[in-house]
Structure 1
């Protein structure tokens, strides 16, 4: 692990400790803070990278459904054709938003890697403990529709946080606090915490 990674991890651990000791009750939500679902945005108090982190976590949770859809079917975790389609879509949308297409693609490569990390972990868990395996199989078509929506939402957040992410030190601190609070508020297990680390590693790059 390089020096930069050790420093970032140290900041993240500190942030996690702080998030674990602070009250997780968000400040009163305003109309602007409340999405169409009526649920207050949970990380508004944790800086502008909070919403981006929330979407990353949501995408990781969709990975659980992808794993459930594939487990026991013989379908491979790796899907190079689909992955290339996602990255081509990302480059096209990023260019239209004025983002660097290759930087956006690098971020989404991390999302794909994290997604597969979750799938492999769940496959191993369910193989070792069959009683924990899912009893229903989600529809992959519906899952991909959700993932396409998240792609658009994540690109929007990359656009809205360009200035924050350009300041590496401030970005690293904000990201550490946002991810630390996501772990606590989302009660992420070890597998999803590790995947979250993977998914956000290029946010401040």
Structure 2
């Protein structure tokens, strides 16, 4: 019986690997992928599967982490700001309750988005410290240029959390759909290693 269970588990993992590999090959050769240029924001169209829109929005938030890093680097503004983060999570809990979805699950998801943003900031800080020639030449205004966009993305994420609440149950199907969405978004946005690592952090709570 144990051997049979192990074999069945291996077959499921193999099926996931085959499906994701096939998806990667299809996306790499697709016109949608070829049209994406380096440094561009994640396209909202041509997302893959029911978790595609949520993953795409998560990437948009991650890419804004670059702007946050540019605004903070070389200033007294810390990467970690527990007081502000707590305010953001409290606001998310209230928005989730108003939307009729689980506030605790929503807060866990947004906490992961905050951590993903920090992954980007720390990675860019390290890069700019080691290579001063790559430091940004302009400093965005966090209040005017960045936070309004983050607020809009927060609203969109709440909408997607509501739309996908049944999809995000901890099942093998959810994990497969998440892999498909993650891989397709990485390819279309041409994320580098740093931003792929941030996206992995951001998506950890999706199927839990």
For 2:167, what is the secondary structure of its paired residue?
helix
Which residue number corresponds to residue 89 of structure 1?
A: 91
Using the TM superposition, give the Cα deviation of residue 74 of structure 1 relative to its aligned residue in structure 2, in angstroms.
2.6
Range with bigger deviation, 117-126 or 14-23 = 14-23
Contact conserved, 2:66 with 2:124, CA < 8 A, in 1?
yes
Contact conserved, 1:53 with 1:179, CA < 8 A, in 2?
yes
Query: What CA RMSD, in Å, does the superposition of the two structures yield over aligned residues?
Result: 2.0
Match of 1:56 among 58, 63, 66: 58
Distance 2:71 2:125 in 1: 11
Which residue number corresponds to residue 132 of structure 2?
A: 130
Contact conserved, 1:49 with 1:175, CA < 8 A, in 2?
yes
Give the count of matched residue pairs: 183
> Which string of whole-angstrom CA distances, capped at 9 and with x for unpartnered residues, describes residues 113-168 of structure 1?
01001100000001101111110001101311111111110010000011111252
Match of 1:20 among 19, 24, 46: 24
Unpaired runs of 5+ residues, structure 2, are 1-12, 33-42
Distance 2:22 2:206 in 1: 21
Contact conserved, 2:71 with 2:140, CA < 8 A, in 1?
yes
Q: Which has the larger radius of gyration?
A: 2
Unpaired runs of 5+ residues, structure 1, are 1-8, 27-38
